Structure 1
Amino acid sequence: MEFNLTWILLGLPVAFVLGWLASRWDLRQVRADNRQAPKAYFKGLNFLLNEQQDKAIDAFIEAVQNDPDTSELHFALGNLFRRRGEYNRAVRVHEHLLSRGDLSRSDRDRAQHALAHDFLKAGLLDRAEDALRRLEGTAFEAEARLALLAIYERSRDWGQAAAIAGKMQQAGQGDFSTRLAHYLCEDAQTRMAQGQFDAARKLLEQALATAPQAPRPLLELAQLQQRCAQPAQALDTLENLARQAPASLPLAATLLVDVAQATGQQARVQGLLETQYRQAPSLDLLQALVALDQHIGVPDAPGRARLVQHLDHEPSLVAAAQWLQGETLAEEQYHPAVQKALDHAAKPLTRYRCAACGFEARQHFWHCPGCQSWDSYPARRVEEL
């Protein structure tokens, strides 16, 4: 067969045209894909700003499918899943980010931080602790330590909490001396419950050295001394409490009455209570003074006079109900019903209220069970706030 050069000359232009068309088609496809990804991304942002989280998630998923290498889309998607409570999906998104080999160091730390928050929100404290510890030496170190501190406090692991608080104090993140004293007091309470009084005393003395201005170590040391049949030492400790933190003395009012009886120092304790009561009237101090009057053997009139004097300065339903208990009414048959109604109305007023979250309780807490704040309960009843 004879070779025909004409066909080659005709075929070259055709091949050139086909190649040019193919290249143009590829460019159009790339441009279409590039336009599609930002379009889905901005659509997701629009839904997010309009509080339409379901549609925003769908738009971000579409954007991620079109451009799987964009880390910002993954972060936005993971945060949306967490806000909706879909923690498993958020974990998968952030773990996928961490598995990528081309991720920058800053984005890797950011993904690790987001993953730790996923575990925290899901209540997986063990996995959250491990994720947070991986953030040591990163830009998220300070936040990670705060989160670890919250985990150890919730789990009552006071040793680990003290270690983290010590690191934070050394790093200049704040003064944690009072909180460290609380940890020692919590540990001391556990030892006292186990009958290890010597160990508890050492912990409380360490707490005093750590935070000399804190009232809790002094109060709990006095309780320990009273429990160990050392009322004289307990009285000295409570007088120190009155000097160091007089606002906290109402918390020790009942203990002061017990110590006064055990030592025979009723006059000394009465003087201490009256001095503090004049400076800052308190229901607990008032009731301690009334109780001391009864223990000393003073007739009932002085105690009742104290209640009336308190009512002159403080309109207290609690004091009024207590005064009425010893009063004889003109129609005495109605006294029990009236007394019961007053006591029922006054009962909520004798609670303590957290200044941070408003959680109310019958007993005083150093660590709020509602919001986990420290020292958020004033040493005064709800009626006095």
Structure 2
Amino acid sequence: MEFDLQWLLLALPGVFLLGWVASRLDLRQLKREDSASPQAYFKGLNLLLNEQQDKAIDAFIEAVQQDPNTSDLHFALGNLFRRRGEYERAIRVHEHLLARGDLRRDDRERAQHALAQDFLKAGLFDRAEAAFKALEGTAFSTDSRLALLTLHERSRNWHPAIEVARQLEAAGTGSFAQRMAHHWCEVAHEADARGRHDEAEQALVRAREAAPQAARPLVMQGHRLVRQGQHAAALKVWDELMALQPQAFSLVAQDYATSAQASDGVPEALARLESLYKQAPSVDLLSALNRLQDEPARRRQRLINHLSNQPSLSAAQGVIRESLSTGVPLTVPEIERLQDALATAAKPLQRYRCAACGFESQHYFWQCPGCHGWDTYPPRRLEDQ
């Protein structure tokens, strides 16, 4: 017993010594690995900041090979591949991350989101949709729903887009009423194209319910009534548009005048157009007014007044057309108004434009102030090209 204890006491210091040596070797190995990985990482970051993406990718690949368990390096590498348009390589990087069993939950969700973006950029919309849906209930729920909404719109899948917009609005992301109104209008447009007119009517009703102040449903409803020959009903719809969205009414001003003539509602339409023109004058309203105005003198005076307040080529052309059609020569004040309108319209064309970057200037430059290129300005103004 004494013999065994003696040998045990002698062996203990040796065991402690071997353990100390082994720990020092492990620490040195760990330090070498830790120093090698950050060195390659910072090298890649420096190259990336210097816009040397090819060399940065090589540095990040080296860092990943030295420490394959570092997820941040994988994310950096995958994002670089996506930015360069190498979507297949980005997908492989993020799929490799998702295949790791030791990946933390937040990193797994981050990798799933990155993979969904890879699919979207690569044009793999079906796979992108599935990847974004897999993020429901995660920290990326809002981002994934916004991406899904854009994806459905690009694919013209209007009913799924409406559902996603509703979910976003219910989650407090913001108001998507106008967007949903556009979705329902697109549904109505496609239904009319297929001859499903009842379905189109219902879609426009839903559009009005989604956004009562929206202009597009009223514009479309009026046009549908015109195609059905119901001009008086179309005027009532567009009268509502005039009250709700006076700026947008210019989109249907010409059609409004046509329907007024077809339904014997010229006096009432003329009065409403004149009232709106005083609030928000535009060339479209001016043309609609003159279409309903029978007296050439009043049409001509309205055009001159418009030129005085808002010089435009369309109004100038109208004055010349009225003079030619009636045979009444232009007066000196009218010619002056035309000259002012032509000068205003010609001013943007009296410029030089850089052929390299598009920078425009009234003066010719041998070196472009925008891109600093030499001899990039053609020696001809825009109106001569």
- Report the TM-score when normalising by structure 2: 0.77
- Aligned-residue RMSD, C-alpha: 2.7
Q: 1:88: which partner in 2?
A: 88
CA drift at 1:20:
8.6
Structure 2 counterparts to residues 283-298 of structure 1, below 5 A: 283-293=283-293, 298=294
Q: Does 1:215 find its partner at 2:215?
A: yes
Aligned partner of residue 246 in structure 1, secondary structure: coil
| Letter aligned with residue 124 of structure 2 | L
What is the letter of the counterpart of residue 303 of structure 1? R
Give the 5 Å matches for 1:71-220.
71-220=71-220
Paired position in structure 1 for 2:315: 319
**Structure-1 separation of matches of 2:172 and 2:230:** 40
Q: Which runs of 5+ in 1 are unaligned?
A: 1-13, 331-341, 350-385
Correspondences of 1:253-332 after superposition (within 5 Å): 253-293=253-293, 298-328=294-324
SS at match of 1:243: helix
Q: Secondary structure at the match of 1:132?
A: helix
The superposition leaves residues 99-142 of structure 1 with CA deviations (integer Å, 9 ceiling, x where unpaired) of 00000110000000011111112222111111111110000000
Cα distance, 1:29 vs structure 2: 3.8
In 2, distance between residues paired with 1:304 and 1:142? 57
- Number of the residue aligned with 2:53: 53
Query: How much does 1:320 deviate?
Result: 0.6
Instruction: Name which of structure 1's ranges 268-277 and 202-211 shifts more when overlaid on structure 2.
Output: 202-211
Q: What's the offset of the Cα at 1:327?
A: 3.1
The residue type paired with residue 251 of structure 1 is L
Distance in 1 between the 2:238 and 2:125 partners? Answer: 40
CA distance, structure 1, for counterparts of residue 241 and residue 20 of structure 2: 91
Q: Could you list the per-position Cα deviations for residues 274-331 of structure 1 after superposition, in whole angstroms to 9, with x for gaps in the alignment?
A: 00001111000000111112xxxx243322222111101111122112322343579x
The 1:290–1:91 alpha-carbon spacing in structure 2 relative to 1, beyond 3 Å, is same
Q: What code does the residue aligned with 1:261 have?
A: Q
Bigger CA drift: 188-197 or 267-276? 188-197
- Supply the distance in 1 between the matched residues of 2:31 and 2:138 (Cα, whole angstroms): 38
- Counterpart of 2:66 in structure 1 is 66
- TM superposition score normalised by structure 1: 0.77
Deviates more, 1:24-33 or 1:227-236: 24-33
Which deviations, in whole Å up to 9, do the C-alpha atoms of 1:336-370 show, x marking residues without a partner? xxxxxx8xx89x99xxxxxxxxxxxxxxxxxxxxx
Letter in 2 for 1:291: R
Tell me which amino acid in the other structure corresponds to 1:70: T
Change (3 A) 1:205 1:19: closer
Corresponding residue for residue 31 of structure 2 = 31
Percent identity over the alignment? 54
State how far apart, in whole Å, the 2-side matches of 1:23 and 1:208 are: 74
TM-aligned CA deviation for residue 230 of structure 1: 1.6
- Report 1:314-353 matches (<5 A): 314-328=310-324
Once residues 15 and 234 of structure 1 are traced to their aligned partners in structure 2, the CA distance between those partners, rounded to angstroms, is 98
The one-letter amino acid paired with 2:33 is D
Cα distance in 2 for residues equivalent to 1:188 and 1:143: 29
CA–CA separation in structure 2 for the residues paired with 1:178 and 1:15: 77
Instruction: Give the Cα separation in 2 of the matches to 1:191 and 1:73.
Output: 50
What is the Cα deviation at residue 38 of structure 1? Answer: 1.6
Match of 2:8 in 1: none
Q: Aligned AA for 1:265?
A: G
Letter in 2 for 1:301: A
The 8 Å contact of residues 168 and 174 in structure 1, kept in 2 or not, is answered as yes
Uncovered stretches (5+) of structure 2, i.e. residues with no partner: 1-13, 331-341, 350-385
Q: Secondary structure at the match of 2:323?
A: coil
Q: Which segment drifts farther, 282-291 or 120-129?
A: 120-129
Write the deviation string for residues 179-230 of structure 1: whole angstroms up to 9, x where unpaired: 1111111111112222322222222122112211111111111111121122
CA displacement at 1:24 relative to structure 2: 6.0
Q: Would the alpha carbon gap of residues 136 and 17 (structure 1) be closer, same or farther in structure 2, given more than 3 Å must change? A: closer
State the partner residue of 1:334.
none
Asked if the contact 1:201–1:224 (Cα under 8 Å) also holds between the matched residues in 2, the reply is: no
Partners of 1:281 and 1:219 lie apart in 2 by: 19
Which amino acid letter does the alignment assign opposite residue 181 of structure 1? A
Q: Deviations over 1:240-276 (max 9, x none)?
A: 1111111211111012112111210100111111000
Aligned-partner Cα distance in 2 for 1:33–1:202: 67
Structure 2: distance between partners of 1:20 and 1:204 = 80
**In 2, distance between residues paired with 1:143 and 1:86?**
23
